[in-house]
Chains A and B, each alone.
Chain A
Amino acid sequence: MCPKKTSSMGLFRKTGQWLSMMGRVFRNEWKLVLGDMGVLLFFVALPLAYPVAYTLVYNPEVVDNIRIAVVDNSRTKESRELVRTVDATPALEVYDYASDLGEAKKMMAETKVYGVLEIPADYARKLGRGEQVHVPFYADMSLLLRFRSEMGALTDVQIQMGKEIMPVTIDETPLSALAAGRELSLPVKSDSYFLGDTEQGFASFVIPGIIILILQQSLVLGVCLIGGTSRERRRRDPQGLDPKAVNEAGPWATIWGKTLCYTVFYIPFVLYLTRIVPEMFSLPHYGSPVQYLLFLLPLLLSSSFLGLTLVYFMKERESAFIIVVFTSVIFLFLSGLTWPRYAMSRFWVWMSDIVPATWGIEGFISINNNGATLAEESTDYIALWILSAVYMFTAAWVCRKIAVSSRLRALSKKESGE
Chain B
Amino acid sequence: MAGLRREFRRMGKSRAYLFGMIFVPVLVAVTFLSLLGEGLPRRVPTTVVDLDHTPLSRSVVRTLNSNEMIDLVGEAESYDAALAQVRRGESFGFFVIPANFEKDALSLRTPTLSYYTNMTYFVPGTLAFKGFKTIAVTVSGGVVKTALQDLGVSDQAMAGLLQPVSIDNYELGNPWMNYSIYLTPSFAIGAFALMILLMTVYSITMEIKDGTSPGWLRTCGGHLPTALLSKMLPHTAIYVATGTLLLWLLFGYAHFPSHGSLLWLWIGMVLFVIANQAFALTIVCLLPNPRLSFSICALFGVLTFSFAGFSFPVESMYGGVGVFSWLAPTRYLFLIYINNALNGYSVWFVRWWFVALLAFPAVAALATLRLKKALEHPVYVP
Contacting A at CB under 8 A, from B145-175, are 147, 151-153, 156-157, 159-174
Residue from A110, A151, A187, A191 having most chain B Cβ neighbours under 10 A: A187
- The stretch of B120-128, B223-231, B354-362 that contacts the partner chain: B120-128
The answer to whether B301 touches A325 (Cβ under 8 A) is yes
- The stretch of B2-10, B111-119, B264-272 that contacts the partner chain: B111-119
Chain A residues closer than 8 Å to B187, beta-carbon distance: 329, 333
The answer to whether A57 touches B317 (Cβ under 8 A) is yes
Question: What does the 1/0 interface line of A98-118 toward B look like (CB < 8 Å)?
Answer: 000000000011110000010
The answer to whether A127 touches B164 (Cβ under 8 A) is yes
Q: A322 vs B133: C-alpha distance in the bound complex, in angstroms? A: 46
What is the predominant secondary structure among interface residues of chain B facing chain A?
helix
A187-B144 in contact given A133-B165, A330-B28 (Cβ < 8 Å): yes
Contact partner, A188, options B34, B143, B174, B321, Cβ 8 Å = B143
Q: A184 vs B89: C-alpha distance in the bound complex, in angstroms? A: 41
- The stretch of B234-242, B243-251, B343-351, B366-374 that contacts the partner chain: B343-351
The answer to whether B121 touches A333 (Cβ under 8 A) is no
For the complex, is B206 an interface residue (Cβ under 8 Å from A)?
yes
Chain B residues closer than 8 Å to A319, beta-carbon distance: 16
Q: A202 vs B44: C-alpha distance in the bound complex, in angstroms? A: 20
For the complex, is B338 an interface residue (Cβ under 8 Å from A)?
yes
The answer to whether B349 touches A326 (Cβ under 8 A) is no
The answer to whether A328 touches B302 (Cβ under 8 A) is yes
The answer to whether A370 touches B118 (Cβ under 8 A) is yes
Q: A402 vs B153: C-alpha distance in the bound complex, in angstroms? A: 83
Chain B residues closer than 8 Å to A321, beta-carbon distance: 198, 202, 294, 298
Contact partner, B110, options A187, A326, A345, Cβ 8 Å = A187
The answer to whether A175 touches B92 (Cβ under 8 A) is no
Q: A55 vs B233: C-alpha distance in the bound complex, in angstroms? A: 38
Q: A388 vs B166: C-alpha distance in the bound complex, in angstroms? A: 55
A326-B28 in contact given A137-B167, A137-B170 (Cβ < 8 Å): yes
- The stretch of B47-55, B61-69, B307-315 that contacts the partner chain: B307-315
The answer to whether A195 touches B202 (Cβ under 8 A) is no
For residue B130, which residue of chain A has the nearest CB? A151
A142-B164 in contact given A190-B114, A321-B298 (Cβ < 8 Å): no
Q: How far is the CB of A388 from chain B (nearest CB, A)?
A: 21
Contacting B at CB under 8 A, from A304-320, are 315, 317-319
For residue B188, which residue of chain A has the nearest CB? A329
* Chain A-chain B contacts (Cβ-Cβ < 8 Å), number: 345
Chain B residues closer than 8 Å to A329, beta-carbon distance: 28, 187, 190-191, 194, 302, 305
For the complex, is A196 an interface residue (Cβ under 8 Å from B)?
yes
For residue A147, which residue of chain B has the nearest CB? B171
Q: A33 vs B32: C-alpha distance in the bound complex, in angstroms? A: 35
Q: A271 vs B71: C-alpha distance in the bound complex, in angstroms? A: 38
For the complex, is A1 an interface residue (Cβ under 8 Å from B)?
no
Q: How far is the CB of B21 from chain A (nearest CB, A)?
A: 10
Chain A residues closer than 8 Å to B255, beta-carbon distance: none
Q: A127 vs B191: C-alpha distance in the bound complex, in angstroms? A: 52
- The stretch of A22-30, A156-164, A292-300, A390-398 that contacts the partner chain: A156-164
Q: How far is the CB of A327 from chain B (nearest CB, A)?
A: 9
Q: A138 vs B321: C-alpha distance in the bound complex, in angstroms? A: 30
A366-B170 in contact given A188-B105, A195-B120, A342-B45 (Cβ < 8 Å): no
Contact partner, B92, options A111, A340, A376, Cβ 8 Å = A340
For the complex, is A418 an interface residue (Cβ under 8 Å from B)?
no
The answer to whether B120 touches A366 (Cβ under 8 A) is yes
Residue from B28, B147, B291 having most chain A Cβ neighbours under 10 A: B291
For residue A362, which residue of chain B has the nearest CB? B89
Contacting B at CB under 8 A, from A353-394, are 362, 365-366, 369-372, 376-377, 379
For residue A369, which residue of chain B has the nearest CB? B120
Per the CB 8 Å criterion, the residue count for chain A at the interface is 115
Q: A120 vs B161: C-alpha distance in the bound complex, in angstroms? A: 19
Q: A351 vs B350: C-alpha distance in the bound complex, in angstroms? A: 39
The answer to whether B112 touches A191 (Cβ under 8 A) is yes
Chain B residues closer than 8 Å to A54, beta-carbon distance: 303, 306
Chain A residues closer than 8 Å to B84, beta-carbon distance: 376
A63-B129 in contact given A187-B140, A326-B28 (Cβ < 8 Å): no
The answer to whether A145 touches B312 (Cβ under 8 A) is yes
For the complex, is B100 an interface residue (Cβ under 8 Å from A)?
no
For the complex, is B222 an interface residue (Cβ under 8 Å from A)?
no
Contact partner, A58, options B83, B132, B306, Cβ 8 Å = B306
Contacting B at CB under 8 A, from A109-151, are 109-111, 117, 126-127, 129-148, 151
Chain A residues closer than 8 Å to B140, beta-carbon distance: 186-190
Q: How far is the CB of A86 from chain B (nearest CB, A)?
A: 9
Contacting B at CB under 8 A, from A340-355, are 340, 342-345, 347-348
A333-B32 in contact given A143-B311, A188-B105 (Cβ < 8 Å): yes
For the complex, is B195 an interface residue (Cβ under 8 Å from A)?
yes
Chain B residues closer than 8 Å to A337, beta-carbon distance: 121
For the complex, is B326 an interface residue (Cβ under 8 Å from A)?
no
The answer to whether B117 touches A194 (Cβ under 8 A) is yes
For residue B159, which residue of chain A has the nearest CB? A132
Q: How far is the CB of B201 from chain A (nearest CB, A)?
A: 8
For the complex, is B35 an interface residue (Cβ under 8 Å from A)?
yes
A343-B191 in contact given A41-B295, A139-B171, A193-B116 (Cβ < 8 Å): no
Chain B residues closer than 8 Å to A334, beta-carbon distance: 35
Residues of B that sit less than 8 Å from A by CB: 16, 19-20, 24, 28, 31-32, 34-38, 41-45, 83-84, 86-89, 92-93, 105, 108, 110-126, 129, 132-133, 136-137, 139-140, 143-144, 147, 151-153, 156-157, 159-174, 177, 179, 182, 187, 190-191, 194-195, 198-199, 202, 205-206, 209, 290-291, 294-295, 298, 301-303, 305-307, 309-313, 316-318, 320-321, 338-339, 342-343, 345-346, 349, 382
Can you list 10 pairs linking A and B with CB atoms under 8 Å apart? A41-B295, A60-B317, A142-B339, A142-B343, A175-B161, A192-B136, A208-B120, A329-B190, A347-B34, A348-B35
